[in-house]
Amino acid sequence: MRRAALAAAVGLVLADSSVVTLGLPDILREFDATVSEVAWVLTAFNLVLALAAVPAARWTRRRSGVALTAGLVVFAVASGLCAAAPSLPALIANRCLQALGGAVIVTTALEQLVALERSEQRAIGLWGAAGVTGAAVGPALGGVLTGAFSWEAIFIVQVPAALLIAATLVFTPAPAIEPRATEVGGKDERPHIPANLALLLISAALTAALFLLVLLLIEGWREPPGIAGIAVSVMPVAALLAGLGASRLPDIRTRIEAGTIAIAGGLAALGLMPGASLGWTVAPQVLIGAGLGLTVSALTQVALRGRSAPALHGGWTIAARHAGVVVGLLLLTPVFTSDLEQNAHDAQLAGTAKLIDAPLRTLHKVDLGRSIADQIRAADGRLPDIGPAFAANPPGPGEAAAQARLRIALQDQIDRGATHAFSTSFLLAGLLALLALVPILTRRGELDL
């Protein structure tokens, strides 16, 4: 029971690093923010988690029982505050508080799992698998909750979940954690540089799959959050299946290298999609999910192997992974927002030409053009929704078919522009994944288990 609760705690925290992704478009509209501003809902959580993970691991070494319960309570309170946030700055501040509680939870849970399991490698495997599962499932779960209820529901459900896990841990026997002799500031406390650097770069690349893909589906292709959540569930399913089959590959270096190449290939495929259709995202997500299941857990095992302070080195892997998410957001967000503005401008010019050529009355085209221009201005740099413009200007006698064709043509132009706007970011993310091969291949001998 305690093992399951500890794994659930890790999964809950690391799901939170991405679970809000599918709620971001609704948050963006509710607080009238820009994409760059709302990206800080993700960036703040991951930045604080990255900075706090190692200090939390040091602080909790001798007080793991109390620290774990306290971390879960802080996480629950912060989740409730996120749901009730009256403004974007308040939401971002509460996300930082969530991350502080989360840093304590994930590092302390590893310490207790190692004490519970007879095999340290098995404990590390369970901890790593729980984190990978949480991070991969997060976006899909967030989409379902947002679609069925609202973005606030994402945080509301975390309150009872965290408190239930805390209650389970309070009422189950805690393992005895023996003091570990470590050389303070010495070799035993130093992180495994190649594995953690590779984790950072892979996590930066995965930002495109967990953040940009969701924005493309909802903001670009106008898919409802629930549908988008189901669509991106392909990735966690592939990650889980790959994780289950990973044990059949005895050479951990092969797992890491194959998984990294799969992630890079999947991201490149997203960058080269020929059309705006959910079907085009399936195969790339399978590749990315399989790579995630093979690579992240394997690199985590390498980074933690043979260390006398597993929680500390678990903290280093958490710091590397979430620093990578921050790097990915900071690198890719400006690129795709710039491309989005350019493609929106190009789509507007192409749409104007289609409107002029449409077989509609001149005055009707003028009114329709003004309404579309109003929608573009209201979008404030985001992709416009042209539906209200057409609804406000119904066709005249004999013009219904022509206006319907015009609307389809304009929407197709916007969809293709949105797909193209994200292409460069997906390709850059694929390059980040390939860069992770540098520490993997140059320090190959350090990746043996």
Q: What residues does each domain of the chain span?
A: 2-176+186-339+421-447, 340-420
Distance, in Å, from the CA atom of 201 to the CA atom of 81, rounded to the nearest integer, reads 32
Per-position DSSP letters for 336-362, written without gaps between them: HHHHHHHHHHHHHHHHHHHHHHSSS-H
* Confidence grade of residue 343 (pLDDT, cut at 50, 70, 90): low
Residue whose structure tokens are 């209201």: 378
Q: Is the pTM of this model over 0.85?
A: no
Correct CATH for 2-176+186-339+421-447 of 1.20.1250.20, 3.40.50.150, 1.10.3720.10, 3.40.50.450: 1.20.1250.20
Report the share of the chain in percent with pLDDT over 90: 18
For the stretch 215-263, pLDDT in tens is: 788 777 778 877 887 888 888 888 888 877 776 766 788 888 899 999 9
CB 418 within 8 A of CB 383: yes
Least Cα distance to 357 among 414, 405, 395 occurs for: 405
* Neighbour tally for 53: CB within 10 Å: 27
Quick one: pLDDT at residue 201?
93
**Mean of the per-residue pLDDT values of the chain:** 81
